Amino acid sequence: MESRESGIGNSKDGEAERFSDSPFPVPGSRPFGPQRIVCLTEEPTETLYALGEQDRIVGISGFTVRPARARREKPKVSAFTSAKVGEILKLKPDLAIGFSDIQADIAAELIRHGVEVWISNHRSVDGILDYIRRLGALVGAAAKANDYADTLQRGLERIQQQAAALPRRPRIYFEEWDEPPITGIGWVAELIRIAGGDDVFPELAAEPLAKQRILADAGEVVRRAPDIILGSWCGKRFRPEKVAARPGWHAIPAVRDGELHEIKSPLILQPGPAALTDGVSEVARIVQAWAARDYP
């Protein structure tokens, strides 16, 4: 038997020589994690840019607006419910990242073509923070991701502290879509509470699927009498005049007092950094202005 002393590999040079003809990569010889990522939604794009890992991205969603530079730098290869699978395959991705059951068909097609896919399904504020940490770990940036998530968490705590000092809390109806009316998802209801308001449909916010949050009777909004109406119609402009003209809605305090406000969907409806920063800040601004008004 050849002794350890006489064999190659008892020095670093020998170890390199031993592996030089191997068909397998030497551990540590390539950067950690996926190198060619396609982001099928906006939140992985925004997160990877925030972590300084944007060079890994080779394709993005056409709905991406954050950060603005991503639209200039990366090819757009998907919508939300559809994708240019052929264009994605040309990019030779080693990972595609998407969100929710709505992208299940896209994920399945990519998987059939041999692409590794991660579909996240988080629907809460804690879920968003955990998503950021997991994505960071996936690309070898766990420490940066943990620091970033901690910073976002502290920002939410500051807003919550400010809200605790408000003289009153408004009742808020959040509308994600108008025809049919769809109420806000879980993380939106949480952000409303953090900002100092109370969602008037908390039982529906617990439902993960949009079809489960459809209002069968829009008159229920009238009965719950929100002080503020927030509209974020995904993909189109919110029309407060159309909302105010709905039968019987003139009796709603929010309509009577002109408290109908749009929050752009990229700020609040993507479960990523935007919702925990600009999204919740916009809700807080509206709530604070309402609380400061002298209503009868």
Tens-place pLDDT, residues 147-166: 999 999 999 999 999 999 99
Distances (CA, A) of 209 to 3, 121, 145, 193, 236: 65, 11, 28, 21, 20
Q: What percent of the chain has pLDDT over 90?
A: 85
- Cβ neighbors of 70 (< 8 A, separation 6 or more) are 45, 46, 49, 54, 57, 60, 64
Confidence at residue 195, expressed as pLDDT on a 0 to 100 scale: 98
Q: What is the DSSP string of 2-58?
A: --TTTSTTSSHHHHHHHHTT-SSPPTTSS-SS-SSEEESSHHHHHHHHHTT-GGGEE
pTM of the model: 0.87
Q: Tell me the average pLDDT of the chain.
A: 91
Residue 175 has pLDDT above 70, yes or no: yes
What is the rounded distance in angstroms from the CA atom of residue 130 to the CA atom of residue 123?
Answer: 11
Tell me the two tokens of residue 208: 């993960």
pLDDT band per the 50, 70, 90 thresholds, residue 24: low
Backbone torsions φ then ψ of 52, nearest 5 degrees = 75, 20
Residue 29 has pLDDT above 70, yes or no: no
Residues in the chain: 296
The per-residue pLDDT for range 213-268, each reduced to its tens digit, is 999 999 999 999 999 999 999 889 999 999 999 999 999 999 999 999 999 999 99
Instruction: Say which residue the tokens 């940066």 belong to.
Output: 144
Give the β-pairing of 181-183 and 171-178: antiparallel
Confidence at residue 27, expressed as pLDDT on a 0 to 100 scale: 58
Q: What is the mean pLDDT of residues 172-197?
A: 97
Which amino acid, residue 246?
R
Residue 189 has pLDDT above 50, yes or no: yes
First to last CA, the chain: 95
Confidence at residue 60, expressed as pLDDT on a 0 to 100 scale: 98
Confidence at residue 33, expressed as pLDDT on a 0 to 100 scale: 93
What is the rounded distance in angstroms from the CA atom of residue 97 to the CA atom of residue 54?
Answer: 14
Confidence at residue 10, expressed as pLDDT on a 0 to 100 scale: 41
CB contact at 8 A, 36 and 56: yes
Q: What is the mean pLDDT of residues 272-290?
A: 98
What is the rounded distance in angstroms from the CA atom of residue 296 to the CA atom of residue 124?
Answer: 36
The per-residue pLDDT for range 113-137, each reduced to its tens digit, is 999 999 999 999 999 999 999 999 9
The per-residue pLDDT for range 39-66, each reduced to its tens digit, is 999 999 999 999 999 999 999 999 999 9
Residue 28 has pLDDT above 80, yes or no: no
Instruction: Say which residue the tokens 């097609």 belong to.
Output: 109
Q: What is the CA radius of gyration of the chain?
A: 24
